[in-house]
Amino acid sequence: MIVVGAGVIGLSAALAAQARGLKVRVIDREGPAAGASAGNAGAFAFTDIFPLASPRIIRRAPKWLLDPLGPLSVPPRYAHRIAPWMLRFWRASWPARVQASTVAQAALMDLSKEALEVHLQREGLTGMLRRDGQLQVYEGERAWRASLPSWVLREELGIAFRHLRGEEIAEVQPGLSPRFTHATFTPGWCSISDPKHYTLALAERVRARGGEIVIAEARSLVPSGVETTAGRMQGRVVLAAGAFSHRLTRTAGVRIPLETERGYNTTLPADAFDLRVHVTFEGHGFVVSRLTSGLRVGGAVELGGLELPPNFARADAMLTKAARFLPGLRTEGGKQWMGFRPSLPDSLPAVGPLPDRPDVICAFGHGHLGLTQSAGTAELVADLLTGQAPGIDMKPFSPARFGRSQ
């Protein structure tokens, strides 16, 4: 079996396959943890069940798009290229489609949460899991009330949380600006101590179980294998190349509307602020998280493809806001980063056989939820590889839902 991609999805799938007795080779053009798996916020966001494509986002998008440094942006020189994707995104925001996507996302989240415990225990990595909780903060009662329908649905799905005001917020996370008058705390929220260290640890486990990790670029899908810069490799293929995956599907005649959410962050020294929980500034599209490597300020969505140079003014803008929202935050000594999140217009990943290629299993398109859904996706891939019935309905995630030439 050949896994294309040595990020958290590909390596998790490799380990799940090895646990079922399969022999694995992983290939990646840069090596383990070279992309978004290294630079994310480290959160297992199992409560994040709502698609990015939604009526609420569509209502807010025009205002956000007018701000080139805001939570959602499209570089002007990329706008014409992404227009067909944006049309699909708009269609995916229709209420009936949002409801279907939310149901499917919730099912994958439940599976991923359950699979994570087994996965971490099997790999001896439970010590890297943190259970600090998450605080989502709101500027004023109006913003908080606008969020309530989403919390009602989470409650129906059994997600625990509690709403806070005033001093109650400071008890959970001291030092927030008083502009945040309301908040919701999710105690069951968990995170990994550091996403890069975690992904590298997965690579070590793959090698320890007899797997091979090869630095090579996959050039094209060929009958019964993949053509790479290290030669042709034969075997069933798991395509987990993140934002680059659609380039390979095209070599098999399948065009999948995968776009790139370019994410930015700044990692500050660990003592930059006394951060006790993962804090989400939902109205501004970014988070602040605590990692062993430092304090990470990042998020937002820039739909700008794979080729444009980074616009680190976006990272600067988030850091400036973070300094206002956390008045005691020390912003010097930070390291900036930009990475590619693979995003499909309906916010659901593509997991399943590539159309007309049952020997190629897709596992990409998780957007900003790759770490969160990695263990669940890995189990689904292993089920498909071994002929077992997956634990959830796979139809909403089928790569075939986009047709062959969209």
| Helices marked H in 185-278 | 195-208, 245-250
Residue 291 pLDDT > 90 = yes
The answer to whether 203 and 13 have CB atoms below 8 angstroms apart is no
55 lies in some domain: yes
pLDDT for the residue 406: 41
Backbone dihedral angles phi then psi of residue 261, each to the nearest 5 degrees: -85, 105
User: Is residue 206 in a domain?
Assistant: yes
pLDDT at 276 over 50: yes
Instruction: State the pLDDT at residue 190.
Output: 94
Distance between CA atoms of residues 299 and 310, nearest Å: 14
Checking if the pLDDT of 283 tops 90, the result is: no
Instruction: Dig out the tokens for 111 from the structure.
Output: 């599976």
Distance of alpha carbon 88 from alpha carbon 111, whole angstroms: 27
Q: Please give the Cα distance from 253 to 244 (Å, whole number).
A: 15
Any domain includes 56: yes
**Quick check: is 154 in a domain?**
no
What confidence score (pLDDT) does residue 44 get?
96
Establish if 199 belongs to a structural domain: yes
Helix (H, G, I), strand (E, B) or coil at 272: coil
Model confidence at 383, pLDDT cuts 50, 70, 90, reads very high
- Residue 405, pLDDT above cutoff 50: no
Task: Identify the pLDDT of residue 221.
Answer: 97
**Which residues constitute the domain of residue 293?**
2-133+188-402
| Whether pLDDT at 13 is above 80 | yes
Q: Mean of the pLDDT values across residues 4-18?
A: 98
Burial of 95 (0-12, 13-18, 19+ CB in 10 A): exposed
Q: pLDDT band at 404, cuts 50/70/90?
A: low
| Of 387, 340, 328, the residue nearest 368 (C-alpha) | 340
* Total length of the chain: 406
pLDDT at 65 over 70: yes
Cα–Cα dist 67/21, whole Å:
51
% pLDDT > 90, the chain = 88
Q: Is residue 317 part of a domain?
A: yes
CA-based nearest residue to 135, from 196, 67, 186 = 186
Mean pLDDT to the nearest integer, 348-366: 97
Q: How many CB atoms lie within 10 A of CB 328?
A: 11
Residue 138, in any domain of the structure: no
Q: Mean of the pLDDT values across residues 197-220? A: 97
Q: State the chain's mean pLDDT as an integer.
A: 94
Structural domain count of the chain: 1
Residue 180 is assigned to a structural domain of this protein: no
Q: State CA 404 to chain mean position distance.
A: 25
Confidence check: pLDDT of 68 > 90: no
* Dist. CA 25–CA 42, nearest whole Å: 26
CATH of the domain at 396: 3.50.50.60
Top-ranked range on mean pLDDT: pick from 7-16, 31-40, 82-91: 7-16
How does residue 16 score in pLDDT terms, banded at 50, 70 and 90?
very high
CA nearest neighbour of 357 among 242, 218, 236: 236
Q: What is the pLDDT of residue 35?
A: 87
Nearest to residue 135, comparing CAs of 14, 276, 5? 276
